[in-house]
């Protein structure tokens, strides 16, 4: 009985650590995308484009499709789990 309990505790720790790493990687990815967009917008200011508007457009073009895909997958997974008995 205690062996099963310790296995369950170890599994919880592993899942918690994996979740922490996944959220950390997600945050680093978002920061990198926003920073990269700022760099590209800054480079494009030399050609006469305004920085802020260019930066916003690049961030939207880079992040919104990925976020929509993520939301779409999550909704699809939830509806799939609700259908299964």
Q: How far apart are CA 16 and CA 51, in angstroms?
A: 40
46: DSSP letter: T
φ, ψ at 35 (rounded to 5°): -65, -40
- Residue-wise pLDDT for 43-83, tens only, equals 999 999 999 999 999 999 998 998 899 899 989 888 877 76
Q: How far apart are CA 50 and CA 56, in angstroms?
A: 10
Tokens of 25: 């990687």
- Residue-wise pLDDT for 22-50, tens only, equals 999 989 999 999 999 999 999 999 999 99
84: DSSP letter: -
Parse the chain into domains and list their residue ranges: 2-83
């Amino acid at each position: 009985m205690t062996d099963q309990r310790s296995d369950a505790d170890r599994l919880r720790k592993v899942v918690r650590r994996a979740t922490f790493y996944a959220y950390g990687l997600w945050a680093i990815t978002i920061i990198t995308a926003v920073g990269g967009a700022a760099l590209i917008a800054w480079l494009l200011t030399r050609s006469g484009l305004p920085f802020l508007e260019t930066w916003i457009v690049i961030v939207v073009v880079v992040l919104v499709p990925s976020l929509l895909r993520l939301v779409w997958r999550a909704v699809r997974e939830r509806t799939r789990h609700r259908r299964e008995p």
